[in-house]
């Protein structure tokens, strides 16, 4: 079921590539044995039959009357991937974009929260830019890390997607560096969140009727809301990632603001409450709208 988030004069629209990706707990969080009695192990978060954590692969459109921003680009179609679930996918991501009625030429900017494969690859197809007219933004530290020997070593797991998915944007002259707290247009601002990767950011989106923090990969699963100290195997700086996560959760619990972590199960957006045994994540139904988002109908 398609859905989107209503912030008044701004709409946040998920472009979902995979709405139920199941992964072994130990692959993401070495040694983790989920407590099946805890809230994060409920069926929405944890597939009991498979014994696996539930993830979503998605990115986001931030739409207003003034501008259209793309936040991240999923794995995309037609490229070889080492992970079987990501290999030669049908182009569901692009189909979801086109279903909004938007044309690629109407995208004003693309921003990458970080340069992991599931956040950048759909921005190009056969080395051609999917949004050729749009500037693509990334924090300089992020590109520098993935271009370094350490980044290259980390990419052995996935294959060198920088070569086929990021360099073409650079070569087209459409990749620009931004500060990790940069303001993007009228409704979005980056929030520094280095740790998961060295130039990782979140994106705060403000509309007339609400604010959402696109929390990217600062947290991947509910188990990290319950246990903020738990970083993933794929976090470049696990300690810093845990500090960022603790800070975001503390702020969210104190302010009642809405977090939208990329890989949380649908609908992914929610508020954080302090429970008796640590934080609890509660999905935010008030901002949620079901059905296909259509840009021109929404504008009218
Ligand atoms: Zn990710």
Span 268-299, pLDDT tens digits? 999 999 988 899 999 999 999 999 999 999 99
- Count of domains for the chain: 1
Distance 46 CA to ligand 1 centre (A): 18
CA–CA distances in Å: residue 228 to residues 231, 240, 248: 8, 11, 10
For 64-86, what is the mean pLDDT? 78
Distance 72 CA to ligand 1 centre (A): 9
Query: Phi/psi of residue 43, each to 5°?
Result: -55, -35
Distance of alpha carbon 167 from alpha carbon 262, whole angstroms = 24
Distance 297 CA to ligand 1 centre (A): 31
Distance 29 CA to ligand 1 centre (A): 14
pLDDT of residue 284: 95
Question: What band does 159 get if pLDDT is binned at 50, 70 and 90?
Answer: confident
Instruction: Please check the confidence at residue 87 and state whether its pLDDT lies above 70.
Output: no
For 77-83, what is the mean pLDDT? 59
Distance 119 CA to ligand 1 centre (A): 6
Distance 16 CA to ligand 1 centre (A): 13
Distance 132 CA to ligand 1 centre (A): 23
Instruction: Please check the confidence at residue 90 and state whether its pLDDT lies above 70.
Output: no
Would you call the peptide bond into 267 cis, given omega within 30 degrees of 0 as the criterion? yes
| Residue of 94, 89, 90, 92 whose CA lies nearest to 107 | 94
- pLDDT tens for residues 97-116? 999 999 999 999 999 999 99
Instruction: Please check the confidence at residue 177 and state whether its pLDDT lies above 60.
Output: yes
Question: What band does 80 get if pLDDT is binned at 50, 70 and 90?
Answer: low
Residue whose pair of structure tokens reads 């509660």 in the numeric block: 282
Distance 267 CA to ligand 1 centre (A): 16
Indicate the average pLDDT of the chain.
Answer: 94
Instruction: Please check the confidence at residue 126 and state whether its pLDDT lies above 90.
Output: no
Query: Phi/psi of residue 45, each to 5°?
Result: -100, -25
* Residues with Cβ–ion distance below 5 A, ligand 1: 118, 217
Distance of alpha carbon 294 from alpha carbon 300, whole angstroms = 10
Distance 300 CA to ligand 1 centre (A): 34
Distance 299 CA to ligand 1 centre (A): 31
pLDDT of residue 165: 93
pLDDT of residue 154: 87
- pLDDT tens for residues 236-246? 999 999 999 99
pLDDT of residue 163: 92
Instruction: Please check the confidence at residue 5 and state whether its pLDDT lies above 90.
Output: yes
Structure token digits, residue 259: 């977090």
- pLDDT tens for residues 10-57? 999 999 999 999 999 999 999 999 999 999 999 999 999 999 999 999
- Residue 176, Cβ neighbours under 10 Å: how many? 14
Distance 110 CA to ligand 1 centre (A): 16
Spell out the residues 6+ positions from residue 272 whose beta carbon is closer than 8 angstroms to its own.
225, 249, 252, 253, 259, 279, 280, 281, 282
pLDDT of residue 79: 60
pLDDT of residue 295: 98
pLDDT of residue 96: 94
Spell out the residues 6+ positions from residue 137 whose beta carbon is closer than 8 angstroms to its own.
109, 110, 111, 112, 175, 176, 177, 178, 182, 184
Structure token digits, residue 76: 């995309």
Contact 122, 76 (CB under 8 A): yes
Distance of alpha carbon 55 from alpha carbon 22, whole angstroms = 6
- Residue 18, Cβ neighbours under 10 Å: how many? 19
- Structural domain that includes position 158: 3-299
Concatenate the DSSP letters of all residues of 107-156 into one string. --EEE-S---HHHHGGGEETTEESSTTS-EEEEHHHHHHHHSHHHHHHGG
Q: SS in 3 state form for 244-274?
A: HHHHHHHHHHHHCCEEEECCCCCCCCEEEEE
Distance 56 CA to ligand 1 centre (A): 9
Structure token digits, residue 150: 């350490």
Distance 230 CA to ligand 1 centre (A): 16
Distance 173 CA to ligand 1 centre (A): 25
* CATH code of 254's domain: 3.60.15.10
pLDDT of residue 91: 82
Instruction: Please check the confidence at residue 251 and state whether its pLDDT lies above 60.
Output: yes
Q: SS in 3 state form for 36-90?
A: CCCHHHCCCCEECCCCEEEEEEEEEEEECCCCEEEECCCCCECCCCCCHHHCCEC
Distance of alpha carbon 243 from alpha carbon 168, whole angstroms = 34
């Amino acid at each position: 079921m398609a859905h989107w988030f209503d912030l008044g004069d701004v709409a946040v629209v998920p472009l979902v590539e995979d709405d139920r990706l199941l992964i072994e707990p130990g692959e993401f969080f070495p040694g983790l044995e989920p407590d099946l009695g805890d809230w994060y192990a409920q069926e929405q978060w944890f597939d009991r039959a498979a014994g696996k954590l539930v993830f979503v692969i998605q990115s986001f459109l931030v739409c207003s009357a003034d501008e259209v921003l793309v936040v991240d680009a999923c794995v995309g179609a037609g490229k070889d991937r080492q992970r079987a679930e990501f290999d030669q996918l049908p182009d569901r991501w692009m189909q979801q974009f086109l279903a909004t009625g938007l044309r690629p030429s109407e995208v004003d900017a693309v921003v990458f929260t970080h340069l992991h494969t599931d956040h950048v690859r759909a921005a190009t197809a056969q080395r051609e830019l999917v949004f050729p007219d749009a500037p693509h933004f990334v924090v300089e530290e992020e590109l520098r890390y993935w271009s370094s020997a350490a980044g290259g070593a980390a990419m052995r797991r996935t294959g060198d997607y920088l070569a086929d998915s990021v360099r073409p944007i650079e070569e087209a002259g459409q990749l620009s560096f931004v500060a990790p707290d940069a303001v993007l247009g009228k409704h979005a601002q980056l929030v520094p969140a280095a740790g998961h990767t060295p130039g990782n950011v979140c994106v705060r989106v403000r509309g007339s009727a609400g604010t959402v923090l696109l929390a990217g990969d600062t947290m991947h699963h509910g188990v990290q809301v319950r246990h903020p100290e738990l970083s993933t195997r794929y976090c470049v700086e696990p300690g810093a990632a845990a500090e960022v996560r603790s800070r975001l959760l503390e702020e969210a619990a104190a302010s009642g603001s809405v977090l939208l972590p990329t890989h949380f199960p649908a609908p992914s957006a929610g508020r954080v409450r302090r429970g008796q045994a640590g934080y609890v994540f509660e999905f935010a139904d008030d901002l949620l709208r079901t059905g296909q988002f259509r840009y021109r109908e929404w504008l009218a």
